[in-house]
Amino acid sequence: MNEVRAVDALVHVIRGFPSALGEAPNPVADATDMELELGLSDLELLERRRERLAQQRKLTAEGRLERELVDRLIATLEAGRRIEQVALNEAETRLLRGYQFLTQKPMVWVVNLDEAAFERGDWPGRTELEDRAASLGIPLVAMAGRWEMEAMALAAEERREFLRALGLEETGISRLARAVYRRLGLISFLTAGEDEVRAWTIIAGTTAKAAAGKIHSDIERGFIRAEVVPFDELQKAGSLARARERGLVRMEGRDYVVQDGDVITFRFNV
């Protein structure tokens, strides 16, 4: 558990198919057991901290605030909720930075189904698991692991044909990646040069000038402007040159908030 505390997000893959020994799947119990284990680990950490605070003869104002917060978080966990669901002000958020609570980390549940259950769109305990996920604010992604393995072993065009034959537009891995991005508050923008086309991951709300620094500090330091076209519009135009001809490329300043899927050419001078 201590090693897990260092990660940014957690993905719990839940068995939704019979085991090799013929054991029936029980996704609700598996998800509940894992949440309980994570919660108990956080609870143990909080109770140790409460004991240390209680041993201090005189608490500072910050110490009193932390003691009240620790009591509130213990009550939250004992009620079967996640620390992530607790509304925190700036001072409380600052107090919790060193704890790395497991139930405060963004979580995504993935139900790994056999092919028949995935085609049906149903599995044992589906409604209960969906309700439980919704109550905890946890995204739920269903996929068929065997089909994922087969799809990823194919070339790009063959993979598209394989997915179309199954009535799918994208792989489960792609849906999972999108769910994790949303949970972490991340987006991607793209740069397209002669040498390479590349996606850059940034936090949602990042300005154009700060996004330029993701590529290189010199670009941020000498930022002049950002030439922006959404990916969908660029795709329809067929090329960046045609997008410029059609007036689809916008000139944006340093304070422009980058949007997911923006294709950006940065102009700078150092």
The pLDDT, as a whole number, for residue 71 is: 95
Q: Are 169 and 145 in contact (CB under 8 A)?
A: no
pLDDT of residue 175: 94
> Could you say which residues of the chain have pLDDT below 50?
none
- Ordered by where they begin, the domains of the chain are 4-104 (1.10.150.300), 186-268 (3.10.20.30)
Between the alpha carbon of residue 123 and those of residues 24, 115, 147, 248, the distances in Å are 11, 11, 17, 46
Specify the pTM: 0.83
Paired tokens of 24? 């029936």
Structure confidence at residue 98 (pLDDT) = 85
CA–CA separation, 30 and 36 (whole Å): 10
In this prediction, residue 20 carries a pLDDT of 83
Q: Give per-residue pLDDT as tens, 120-155.
A: 999 999 999 999 999 999 999 999 999 999 999 999
Cβ atoms 209, 254 nearer than 8 A: yes
* Res 245: pLDDT: 93
What are the tokens at 142?
A: 């269903």
Q: Using CA atoms, how far apart are residues 110 and 117, in angstroms rounded to an integer?
A: 14
Helix (H), strand (E), coil (C) string for the chain: CCCHHHCCCEEEEEEECCCCCCCCCCHHHHHHHHHHHHHHHHHHHHHHHHHHHHHCCCCCHHHHHHHHHHHHHHHHHHCCCCHHHCCCCHHHHHHHCCCCCHHHCCEEEEEEECHHHHHHCCCCCHHHHHHHHHHHCCCEEEEEHHHHHHHHCCCHHHHHHHHHHCCCCCCHHHHHHHHHHHHHCEEEEEEECCCCEEEEEEECCCEHHHHHHHHCHHHHHCEEEEEEEEHHHHHHHCCHHHHHHCCCCEEECCCCECCCCEEEEEEECC
What pLDDT score was predicted for residue 166? Answer: 87
